[in-house]
Structure 1
Amino acid sequence: MSQAELSRGLNAGLNRRGRAVLELTTEPATAMLANEVEHVSKSRRRNDLLRWQAAGLLLPLGVFGILEVVVQNGWIARNLLPAPSDVFESLWQLAGGDLWKHIGASGLRVLAGFVLGAVLAIVLGAAVGFSRRLEALLEPSFQGLRAIPSLAWVPLLLLWLGIDESPKIALIAIGAFFPVYVNVVSGVHNVDRRWVELGKVYGFSRIGLVRRVILPASLPQLFTGLRSGLSLAWMFMVAAELIAASKGLGYLLTDGRETSRPDLVLVAILVLAILGKLTDEALRYLEIACVGTRDTLGNTR
């Protein structure tokens, strides 16, 4: 072999080895750089979101300030719309008295009705979504019942169950049932058919398929239904307590109307808004714990 050929061979070997070393050194560096860029991007999005959330908290404060000026200057009569300072003063007074009793009564009713309605909705929704025959049998009736307004149920429930806690819990359960049911059925229908076939290959029974394949796959839509159902449970609770109740936030609304105290009505509305937001946030964090953070558009904005 000539000197030139030997030199070319050595150079080629060195070039191949150099490229290999370069690839080994640049690939981890590129991955680290990409991870760092993604981390910085997420940090910037998080900070931007925090700024917008702070602005979202300032928005109602600005509205309260404008209303305070408007009412204090007499542009709106106090018997129609009290000043925010009057509302918070009433809230402070009630917080040292019967407010917690009303919150406890309403909260227990919502909890009992929501759990009852949601459990029934999950069981029936999974069964209807899994069985076409059962869907053909029950779906027309459920869709018809879903269109009935909440107050239309009140006279019938009072006739059947009396005026104690039973009709209130039943009405709340009706309100929570349909959003959860609709989302569970939709979630089951959207489960990838290949997962179901794989479960059959492993010998799962129908109940095993529902419990181990279908329900876990439909968890995102299930939690959407649960959050919607919880919101409606609070609304139906107010409807139930407006009819027959001696305590609760709905009763507080009625008491404020009958005694011509709009500040009391607004206190009840404010407390309902806070409780609704807190319970919805609790369900949202439960969803994150059960489903995890998904790579979706909502998590990348």
Structure 2
Amino acid sequence: MSSIAVQARPVAVRSLLPSAAVLARFAGPVLVVVLWQLASATGVLPERLLASPLTVVRTAVDLLEDGTLTHALSVSLRRAAVGFVIGAVFGIGLALVAGLSKIGEYLVDPLLQMLRTLPFYGLIPLFILWFGIGELPKIVLVAFGVAIPLYLNTFAGIRSVDGKLAELAQVQRLSRFELIRHIVLPGALPQTLVGLRQSLGVAWLALIVAEQVNADAGLGQMINDAREFLRTDVIVVGLLVYSVLGLLTDALVRLIERRALTWRRSFL
């Protein structure tokens, strides 16, 4: 056997690895769905406790056809988007203030460290008293959930920038603005993207909590109505939509990481 053939085999094997990885990634969820359907079909899992996967699929199609799911999804996406933008601006802005100045750290960090321990449910009554029962308290709750992880990770990223790079900037006579632009922000970017992934996950959790209270539209309101009528199929549809939204936004940030951090070598 020639050396060329021997060398070609590992290449061929490696080319098969991505497809195998994709199959392995979906194996667990598919197995859960199969067992779920079997349990429902055999009566081990009654429909009154949890609708079968086939029932959930039929319900999702019906909700799409009559526009219920589309309307609820659009309302929830709007709340999440507005809350995320507001939270990102505050989180990153406060991290820059605290990370680039000791005085800023003394003013901002203790307050944010205190606020990050507060649970979402504990804030809802206060937000309702402050902002009423309309859209504003829901958006503020999402913004709060987004701002905290973005602040913590961006602040940590700024403070973890190698001090030798700052010394090099002084040798090169870089201005304060050039130091921040060319050294601090690129150095903090990996940790900021970690915070972005975390904040998106928290945003969906905050939205679920917010839409369970005094919501007149959205996925949470759809789930609440379904609970009143014991419609586990509709509840599962709503929860699955939340899950898919979380996975899609996480995949988007992963894509941004791969594009923005091409210079960083990873373990795998």
TM-score (norm 1): 0.81
Where does residue 142 of structure 1 map in the other structure?
A: 112
How far does residue 130 in structure 1 lie from its aligned partner after superposition?
Answer: 2.0
Distance between the aligned counterparts of 1:76 and 1:295, measured in 2?
48
| Residues 1:129 and 2:105 aligned together | no
Offset at residue 266 of structure 1 (A): 0.4
Question: Aligned runs of 1:113-262 on 2, under 5 Å?
Answer: 113-262=83-232
How much has 1:210 moved relative to structure 2? 2.5
Q: Which runs of 5+ in 1 are unaligned?
A: 1-32
Deviation string 1:29-72 (CA, Å, 9 cap, x unpaired) is xxxx9xxx7x9867744632430221221321221111111111
Aligned-partner Cα distance in 1 for 2:172–2:134: 50
Deviates more, 1:56-65 or 1:170-179: 56-65
CA RMSD of aligned residues (A): 2.2
The Cα offsets for residues 246-270 of structure 1, whole Å up to 9 and x where unpaired, read as: 1111112211111111111100011
- For residue 81 of structure 2, give the secondary structure of its aligned residue in structure 1: helix
- Distance, in Å, in 1 between the alignment partners of 2:18 and 2:54 is 30
The reply on whether 1:58 has 2:35 as its aligned counterpart is no
Q: Say whether residues 1:265 and 2:268 are aligned partners.
A: no
Q: Aligned residue for 2:64?
A: 95
Q: Give 2:113's aligned amino acid.
A: Q
Q: Give the conservation status (yes or no) of the 8 Å contact 1:126–1:215.
A: no
Query: CA contact under 8 A between 2:86 and 2:143: conserved in structure 1?
Result: yes
CA contact (8 A) 1:118 1:173 kept: yes
Gap runs ≥5 in structure 2: none
Give the TM-score, by structure 2 length: 0.91
Give me the whole-angstrom Cα distance separating, in 1, the residues matched to 2:137 and 2:193. Answer: 26
User: Does 2:78 correspond to 1:108?
Assistant: yes
How far does residue 171 in structure 1 lie from its aligned partner after superposition?
0.5
**Residues 203-229 of structure 1: CA deviation (Å, up to 9, x unaligned):** 444444323321111111110000100
Instruction: Check whether the contact 1:129–1:185 (CA below 8 A) recurs between aligned residues.
Output: yes
Q: 1:183–1:221: 8 Å Cα contact kept in structure 2?
A: yes
The SS at the match of 1:243 is: coil
- Tell me by how many angstroms 1:147 deviates: 0.2
Asked if the contact 1:188–1:218 (Cα under 8 Å) also holds between the matched residues in 2, the reply is: yes
